[in-house]
């Protein structure tokens, strides 16, 4: 191998090693629970209490029976026409609770790679958020997080169960 090729190989090794940094130690429980989750913080300027890595603390949010989940077709993130009524109700609830903050969790079934499912879960949560914003909800009140396939509601390996796992789940925090 000539000198020039060795320099290129050496540079590639340095860049590869730099990309393999370890996760910082000392993560708190909520940050480690979200460590693989793709997030988008839509709370800038709202006074939201943020976790160690700039993420809202999920334990501060709770499910509200008036904010039901919406579900998605396999390998899709478009809001289904039947679910627009559910989202209209969720938007009405948010309008009647103007101080409430919303976390939308995007979820997938177990099929597909982990990386693909995290990205799909985020697209589902964002599509849901976009719908709510189109109905007059301030985007700064919404945080989107994807858990991909990591938090299934059903663990059977059949379509009926997978359909339950393909969802956007809503959690609310009173402010």
- Residue-level pLDDT at 69: 97
Instruction: Show me where the domains of the chain are located.
Output: 27-173
Fold of 27-173: 60s Ribosomal Protein L30; Chain: A; (3.30.1330)
Its pTM stands at 0.69
State phi, psi for 144 to the nearest 5 degrees: -110, 135
**Chain segment 135-166, per-residue pLDDT in tens:** 999 999 999 999 999 999 989 888 988 999 99
Asked if 144 contacts 125 with a C-beta cutoff of 8 angstroms, the reply is: yes
**Chain segment 20-66, per-residue pLDDT in tens:** 333 333 323 333 333 334 444 433 333 344 444 455 666 789 999 99
**Chain segment 83-102, per-residue pLDDT in tens:** 999 999 999 999 999 999 99
User: What strand order describes the sheet that includes 101-107?
Assistant: 38-40, 142-148, 101-107, 167-173, 70-71
């Amino acid at each position: 191998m000539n000198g020039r090729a060795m320099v290129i190989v050496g540079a590639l090794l340095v860049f590869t090693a730099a990309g393999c940094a370890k996760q910082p130690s000392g993560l708190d429980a909520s940050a480690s629970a979200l460590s693989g989750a793709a997030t988008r913080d839509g709370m800038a300027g709202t006074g939201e209490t943020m976790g160690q890595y700039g993420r809202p603390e999920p334990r501060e949010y709770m499910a509200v029976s008036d904010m039901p989940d919406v579900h998605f077709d396999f390998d899709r993130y478009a809001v289904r026409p039947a679910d627009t009524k559910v989202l209209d109700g969720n938007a009405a609830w948010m309008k009647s609770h103007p101080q409430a903050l919303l976390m939308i969790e995007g979820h997938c079934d177990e099929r597909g790679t982990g990386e693909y499912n995290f990205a799909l879960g985020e697209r589902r949560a964002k599509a849901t958020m976009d719908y709510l914003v189109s109905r007059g909800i301030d985007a700064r009140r919404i945080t989107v997080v994807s858990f991909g396939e990591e938090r299934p509601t059903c663990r059977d390996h059949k379509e009926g169960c997978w359909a339950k796992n393909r969802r956007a789940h809503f959690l609310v925090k009173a402010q």
